[in-house]
Amino acid sequence: MTMRIPVSALIGLTMMAFFFCLAVFAPLIAPYGIGEVVGDVWEPMSAKHWLGTDNIGRDLLTRMIYGARTTIFIASAATVLSFTLGTLLALSAVVLGGWVDMALSRFIDLIMTIPTLIFALVVLSVVPTSILILIVLMGLLDTTRVYRLARAVAVDINVMDYVEAARLRGEGTSWIVLREILPNALSPLVAELGLRFIFMVLFISTLSFLGLGVLPPDTDWGAIVKENKEGLVYGIPAALAPAVAIATLAISVNLVADWVLNRTTSLKGGRNA
Amino acid sequence: MREAVAHNLVEIRGLKIGATVFTPGEKPKDVEIVHGVDLNLEKGKVLGLIGESGAGKSTIGLSTLAYGRGGIRITGGEIFINGIDILKNSVGELRDLRGRQVTYVSQSAAAGFNPSKRLMDQVVESCLSHKLCSRKEAEERAVTLFRKLGLPDPENFGKRYPHQVSGGQLQRAMTAMALCPEPDLVIFDEPTTALDVTTQIDVLASIKEAIQDTGVGAIYITHDLAVVAQVSDHIMVLQHGRMVEYGTTDQIINNPQKDYTRALVSIRSTIHDETPAKGEPVLKLNNVSARYRGLNFDVVKDVTLEIHPSQTLAVVGESGSGKSTLARVMTGLLPLRQGSVSFNGETLPAALEERSKEQLRELQMIYQMADVAMNPRQTIETIIGRPLEFYFGMQGAEKRARVIELLDEIELGESFLKRYPAELSGGQKQRVCIARALAAKPRLIICDEVTSALDPLVADGILKLLLNLQEIEHVSYLFITHDLATVRAIADTIAVMYQGNVVRYGPKSKVLEPPFDDYTDLLLSSVPEMKLGWLEDVISTRKMDSAGN
């Protein structure tokens, strides 16, 4: 099957590949060490320091590359966690129905009534901050959103005759969830995956900006904005670099997600085939 | 270029209609779906367009509005309405044409009405938007039409919302909506297909009367030749976007010239000879009652039935009669409230979860809508292979060999193994569902309206296949249907259901012979016959109104 990738998706894919390469190979690419002070405070861009230096004279490009690593790693891990958990819980709730569905859905609603950021701030002020804690916390909080969407999608599929046919055959819950419902729920979920990933990037950046996210010597894009924000007053653009990076990543992921959604729905046997 | 003949309301010459097909993984390609059709319709006459799905009949019908559904466009030919070539019309002129000179009645009235507006507002809408008359006059017209169409309480009918009236009434309201602006031409696109057989005849009669009274010209689109024979003056038979035959209704019904037309006329002639029941019943329902949660009445009331080996029991009735509920009780999806179901002599547990794998295996089901009965993400091999794997533990080559054997039995063959349901036609899909049921080697298959979503010729093929398979596999069928022609074709025993009760039950020969009870009489007489003047005869001799009224 030949596959034509639209230009928009191609741009998105290239940008994403670029960011992910930065993240994976950060120690190899970065020109300096992560905490190394190599120049004056807020030096302008130069051949030596492509993006200039930050508020205490570290190479900004190096900081950005290491920041990408942390940001993308945490966001990806949290997205994977929230998707796996949210989808499985939602699909099982729909298939089992009755009080399981009721209890789980109401519990999720309850969690959703608490603003995510405030919830996170409260938890992080009690437990010690570590990357693992951040991932689990963000993943669990976002599970509620994924659960809601996946449940809505699965309710539609659950009433299809082929699911009933499987039930009449005597199939167990795991077959119905994984083989009958999940493949048909994937396309809207994959599109949502892109969006949720971006929300994760924004979330971790927000937390770091507020000083509750990634702790030094590690850094991420939110933390770089925080460190350099005073510079803006003096007309120093260092804080803009991570902001631009966040925006670019968000857009490129969305371009890809759009394409994936289009593709999967017109796939053989897709909903609009 | 020849000018249009003056007395022709519609004149279509060399109409070609194309569409763009988006096959996954391939470049979009243009295909022609109507290949040069000519037709004429005089003022005040009715033309029936008939053909299977994909014949292009709806597409041609809509082209008289210079309109094509998503992706469809008119690529050639001329369409004259009242002598004007509408394909040359500007957008503004088309707006004047649509909803004023030409109106449209769709198959699904329920989807055609806005559920949040009262019927009257919607019926008079086109009159008002075309500024044909004042609101008061339009409402008077609507009330007159409601009366003409036999709607209850015509003065106040328009105050109701769409969900407050029955399906048959809604279809009539839609006819009123189409007739309200006093158009020259109305397109009826399968207006009675979605209705119950007993309701269909009332709607059909009132549509016919309204057409005659108002003197409007009409194009009546349907796949049911017997229906179109009742209302139209001329009939055009279409197949694959080409005209097969055109003639007066009398000639098409009584003296068809082409093989295809002959096949359509003789469609309901398959008859399976009744075989006497022998052996212990496979399935027995003893005084079964059932209701859905939240209802305070039984949907199925005190039903007692038996199905014998290698026999077919047809359960017939209109929608809401409880026949599908009966199937849900047998399969255990809806636990019964009273009575018992015994299978192979032992009582079946009421709930699905308590039944053994063996009990589940022996009772299989085939659904009405084959497209939603198969997982769109599984190949045919997986779909048919799963019961083999699940019940008999077959794997690999053994499983595949059996799947191919089953594919041969349903006359499809090995090349279908790797296909997905979306790549199959309606009839092929239903065949795969049959193979899936057979794979379990069941003793009884419940067939829930398995042919009602299919074209008549395809449905005929499915019925023949089912009868053949019954001889080979010695399986019993419980056949749920509203179509008496199907019942005649396949049943050994018949149960007629009405409002949850079995009103008549016995061998086919007895049930279909007089004397009838009132309901069976109504049901039998409502099945359209390939005969001119049948509609008038029936309406004048009926004893009982249909339940939908």
CA distance A142 to chain B (A): 28
Q: Is A97 on the interface with B (CB under 8 A)?
A: no
Of A245, A212, A208, give the one whose Cα is nearest residue A223: A208
Provide the percentage of residues in chain A whose pLDDT is more than 70: 95
Average pLDDT value for residue range A228-257: 85
pLDDT in the model for residue B215: 85
Provide the percentage of residues in chain B whose pLDDT is more than 90: 22
Average pLDDT value for residue range B525-542: 80
pLDDT digits (tens, 9 = 90+) for B84-102: 888 888 888 888 888 888 9
Structure tokens at A95: 């298939």
Q: What phi and psi, each to the nearest 5 degrees, are found at residue B278?
A: -140, 155
A168–B420 CB contact, under 8 Å? no
Of B331, B341, B265, give the one whose Cα is nearest residue B307: B341
Residue A268 confidence class, pLDDT cut points 50, 70, 90: very low
pLDDT in the model for residue B547: 45
Please report residues of B whose CB lies closer than 8 A to that of A180: 375
Average pLDDT value for residue range B295-309: 88
- The H or E element containing residue B104 is strand B102-105
Average pLDDT value for residue range A120-144: 89
∠ CA B41-B45-B46 to the nearest 5 degrees? 85
ipTM exceeding cut-off 0.90 for this assembly: no
Q: Is A162 on the interface with B (CB under 8 A)?
A: yes
Of B548, B433, B514, give the one whose Cα is nearest residue B194: B548
Q: Cβ contacts of residue B420 below 8 Å, gap of 6+?
A: A268, A269, B376, B377, B378, B379, B380
Q: Is B293 on the interface with A (CB under 8 A)?
A: no
A165–B422 CB contact, under 8 Å? no
Position A176 pLDDT exceeds 60: yes
Counting one residue from chain A and one from chain B, the pairs whose CB atoms sit within 8 A come to 69
Order of strands across the sheet that contains B476-481:
B363-366, B444-448, B476-481, B312-316, B493-498, B501-507
CA distance B79 to chain A (A): 32
Residue A94 confidence class, pLDDT cut points 50, 70, 90: very high
pLDDT in the model for residue B223: 84
Average pLDDT value for residue range B282-311: 88
User: Which residue among B357, B372, B376 sits closest to A170, beta carbon to beta carbon?
Assistant: B357
Average pLDDT value for residue range B207-211: 87
CA distance B382 to chain A (A): 11
CA-derived radius of gyration, chain A: 22
pLDDT in the model for residue B269: 62
User: Which residue among A161, A168, A169 sits closest to B372, beta carbon to beta carbon?
Assistant: A161
Cβ atoms B446, B413 nearer than 8 A? no
Of A188, A185, A187, A193, give the one whose Cα is nearest residue A253: A193
Q: Is B374 on the interface with A (CB under 8 A)?
A: yes
pLDDT digits (tens, 9 = 90+) for B113-134: 898 999 999 999 888 988 888 9
User: Which residue among B26, B364, B372 sits closest to A162, beta carbon to beta carbon?
Assistant: B372
Q: Is A133 on the interface with B (CB under 8 A)?
A: no
Position B16 pLDDT exceeds 80: yes
Residue B543 confidence class, pLDDT cut points 50, 70, 90: low
Cβ atoms A136, A74 nearer than 8 A? no
Q: Cβ contacts of residue A130 below 8 Å, gap of 6+?
A: none
pLDDT in the model for residue B434: 93
Q: Is B456 on the interface with A (CB under 8 A)?
A: no
User: Which residue among A161, A164, A169 sits closest to B360, beta carbon to beta carbon?
Assistant: A169
Position B237 pLDDT exceeds 80: yes
pLDDT digits (tens, 9 = 90+) for B397-442: 999 999 999 999 888 888 888 888 888 888 889 999 999 999 999 9
A205 burial (CB, 10 Å; 0-12 / 13-18 / 19+) is buried
A269–B376 CB contact, under 8 Å? yes
Position A129 pLDDT exceeds 70: yes
C-alpha B548, offset from chain centre: 17
CA distance B43 to chain A (A): 41
Distance CA B198, CA B391 (A): 42
Average pLDDT value for residue range B491-504: 90
B376–A161 CB contact, under 8 Å? no
Provide the percentage of residues in chain B whose pLDDT is more than 70: 95
B274 burial (CB, 10 Å; 0-12 / 13-18 / 19+) is middle
Cβ atoms B249, B229 nearer than 8 A? yes
pLDDT in the model for residue B548: 43
Chain A CA closest to residue B333 = A168
Please report residues of A whose CB lies closer than 8 A to that of B422: 268-270, 273
Chain A CA closest to residue B442 = A169
Residue B82 confidence class, pLDDT cut points 50, 70, 90: confident
Q: Cβ contacts of residue B28 below 8 Å, gap of 6+?
A: B20, B21, B22
Please report residues of A whose CB lies closer than 8 A to that of B377: 183-184, 269
Chain B CA closest to residue A263 = B24
Q: Is B454 on the interface with A (CB under 8 A)?
A: no
pLDDT in the model for residue A103: 94
Cβ atoms B352, B333 nearer than 8 A? yes
* Neighbour-count burial for B355-385, b at 16+ CB within 10 Å, e otherwise: beeebbbbbbbbbbbbbbbbbbbbbbbbbbb
Distance CA B437, CA B384 (A): 8
A1–B25 CB contact, under 8 Å? yes
Position B455 pLDDT exceeds 60: yes
User: Which residue among B333, B375, B421 sits closest to A180, beta carbon to beta carbon?
Assistant: B375
CA distance B88 to chain A (A): 33
Residue among A2, A158, A168, A262 with most chain B CBs within 10 A, to mutate: A168
Distance CA A86, CA A156 (A): 17
User: Which residue among A179, A183, A266 sits closest to B22, beta carbon to beta carbon?
Assistant: A266
pLDDT digits (tens, 9 = 90+) for B259-278: 888 888 876 666 777 777 77
Write down the mean pLDDT value for chain A.
Answer: 84
Of A168, A194, A193, A192, give the one whose Cα is nearest residue A180: A168
Q: Which residue's entry shows tokens 């799947």?
A: B403
- Cα distances (angstroms) measured from residue B120 to each of A260, B115, B144, B182, B499: 45, 12, 12, 16, 31
pLDDT digits (tens, 9 = 90+) for B17-64: 888 777 655 667 788 888 888 988 988 889 999 888 778 888 888 888
Structure tokens at B223: 């796949």
pLDDT digits (tens, 9 = 90+) for A11-25: 999 998 998 888 888
Structure tokens at B125: 């809408």
Helix A116-126 to helix A182-209 angle (10° resolution) is 60
pLDDT in the model for residue B407: 92
Average pLDDT value for residue range B451-480: 87
Q: Is A273 on the interface with B (CB under 8 A)?
A: yes
Distance CA B549, CA B543 (A): 14
Number of other CB atoms surrounding residue B486 within 10 Å: 24
Q: Is A266 on the interface with B (CB under 8 A)?
A: yes
User: Which residue among B333, B373, B390 sits closest to A162, beta carbon to beta carbon?
Assistant: B373
SS (H, E, C) B88-100: HCCHHHHHHHECC
pLDDT in the model for residue A269: 39
Largest Cα span, chain A: 73
Provide the percentage of residues in chain A whose pLDDT is more than 90: 24
More confident residue, B1 or B176: B176
pLDDT in the model for residue B24: 56
Chain A CA closest to residue B356 = A170
pLDDT in the model for residue A163: 92
User: Which residue among A167, A179, A268 sits closest to B420, beta carbon to beta carbon?
Assistant: A268
